[in-house]
Amino acid sequence: MSKTLQESMENFQDFEPTRVERNGQAYVETYNFIKEEVERHLVKYRKLERLNQTGRLTRDQLDELLRRYHDYVIAGKYKAHYRQVGLKSKEGNIFEHVIPTRTVRNLLISGVWNVDQAMNPPTCLLDRTSNDLLSSLKLTKSTPNTWFFWRRYRDLNIKIETYDGTPVDQETWDWRTHCEYFNILL
């Protein structure tokens, strides 16, 4: 005799899913899964004849997938691609997209960037003071130049280095340099 829905619900024992260790294998699996899903949603979005609610939901899903990758793999592997000199941990600091995620998504949708590029935009750890200044300059949702993305930080008067301590010349370190340093296909 089959159980009723009520019996099944009353007898249900909630559980905690098995936790996965963050390591190289988990990052590869995350990359493969998210890349495939981004590609699938991108095809769906581009096939729309007009933007409707399905389009909006598909675009939102692209945002969610990209953010998930950035927050899990980039933040887990590097803490961020770059950091304000002197910051060693995420604790108390801000994980910031140097090119805002909205712009990242739009570069992908428009075909300017490929999926790998959208999955690996420059991210930076900033202290709260610098992040607050970025907000007061109204630069949290825009950037003056996506190729020379460090121009966004021009008025912050801070020094930047890569996650592994390589100094960044904010005048010359551009999108190509970012892609070459992090092995991102152009």
Residue 12 within a domain: no
How many percent of the chain have pLDDT more than 70?
Answer: 99
Residue 5 within a domain: no
Residue 9 within a domain: no
Radius of gyration of the chain (CA): 20
Report how far residue 10's alpha carbon sits from residue 139's, in angstroms, rounded to the nearest whole number.
52
Among 4-8, 19-23, 116-120, the range with the most confident prediction by mean pLDDT is 116-120
Residue 33 within a domain: yes
Which tokens sit at 10?
Answer: 């009353």
Residue 6 within a domain: no
Residue 7 within a domain: no
Burial class (CB in 10 A: 0-12, 13-18, 19+), 151: middle
Q: Shortest CA distance to 186 belongs to which of 109, 110, 115?
A: 115
Q: Which residue has the higher pLDDT, 153 or 139?
A: 153
Residue 3 within a domain: no
1 pLDDT more than 60: no
At 141 the pLDDT is 76
Say if CB 96 and CB 83 are below 8 A apart.
no
Residue 63 within a domain: yes
Residue ranges of alpha helices (H) inside the chain are: 5-11, 24-47, 53-69, 75-77, 101-109, 115-119, 128-136, 175-181
How many percent of the chain have pLDDT more than 90?
Answer: 79
At 173 the pLDDT is 97
Q: What domain range is 27 assigned to?
A: 23-181
Q: How many domains does the chain have?
A: 1
